[in-house]
Structure 1
Amino acid sequence: MALNSLKDVYLDQMQDLYSACQQSLDATTELGNAATHQELSEALAAGGKGIAEGMEKISKLCSDHGINPDGEFCKGMQGLVKEARSHALEEEFGDDDVRDAMIITQYQRMVHYALAGYGCLVAFANRLELDGDAAVLQECLDETYQGDRHMTEIATKGGVNAAAA
């Protein structure tokens, strides 16, 4: 599709974010399975559920606009997923707490990519006066921020970073 208008960019980026979510979902599950800290493992399971719910919402929006959500492949998330697997799953760790700290790091990098994607889509939807879309996407953005903040709390107040130190 030629990108000739903000609406074209909006739809393209919605497909890109769907691909990013799809890729990060598998990695999040793998990170959750590798985590040893109970709260971290539970948060990653909840994060996976949230990603899947976001994908459902994006898929519905894509359908409403007559496009296939699978229309793009997100190379940015591909790189982040590769990094997450390399640094948190394939790397050798002498201590489970250190791995858990790395898991949080890699997960948050993927989440921050999604935050940027959702934020841009909300701005585009608002500019295009797609109020229904904007509301759905804002909800996804808010939930993603909430998950990111929870992960920071697990690292700092939940003791993962302290245990890793």
Structure 2
Amino acid sequence: MTISTLKDLYIDQLQDLYSADKQSLEATKMLHEKATSEDLRRALKNGVEGISQGMVKVKNLIEGHDAEPTGEFCKGMEGLVKEAKAHAINADIDDKDVLDASIITQYQRMTHYGIAGYGTAVAFAKRLGLENDASELQTCLDNTYGGDREMADIATGKVNKEAMAG
């Protein structure tokens, strides 16, 4: 797709977000399988549900602009997923608390990428006068922030302390 207008760029960014969400969904499922802390497992399960809901919203927005959701492949998230695999999913970490701390680190990196993507899409939608789009995307952004805060609370509340004790 040739990008000539802000709307073209907006749709391109939505497609990139969709791809990023799809990739992070699979990685989050794998992180969930590796996690040992019950709080972390619950938070990752919530993350899977949140990412899935975000994908549906983004897909509907893209299709509402007569575009295909799969029009982009997010290389940024591809790199973050490779990092998650190397440093958590396939990592050789014996201490379960250190592993959980690493899982949180990798999840938050993917989450922060999502925050940047959703934030940009919200700004573009508002500039384009697409208030419904902006509202839907703001919900996704707020949910992503919530997931990030939940992970930070788990890390600082117990996991990092337990990892230090090991």
- Bin for the TM-score computed over the shorter chain: over 0.9
Superposed CA offset, 1:12-68 (max 9, x none): 000000000000000000000100000000100100100000000001001110001
Distance 1:121 1:4 in 2: 17
- The residue that corresponds to 2:159 in the other structure is 160
Match in the other structure for 1:149: 149
1:37-52 paired onto structure 2 within 5 Å: 37-52=37-52
Deviation at 1:91, TM superposition (A): 1.5
Aligned residues: 164
Mapping of 1:124-143 within 5 angstroms?
A: 124-143=124-143
CA distance in 2, matches of 1:94, 1:62: 43
TM-score by length of 1: 0.98
Deviation at 1:2, TM superposition (A): 0.9
For residue 161 of structure 2, what is the amino acid of its counterpart?
Answer: A
SS in 2 for 1:138: helix
- Any gaps of 5 or more consecutive residues in structure 2? none
TM-score scaled by length of structure 2: 0.98
Match for residue 120 of structure 1? Answer: 120
User: How large is the Cα RMSD of the aligned pairs?
Assistant: 0.5
Task: Provide the secondary structure at the position in 1 that maps to 2:73.
Answer: coil
> What is aligned with 1:74?
74
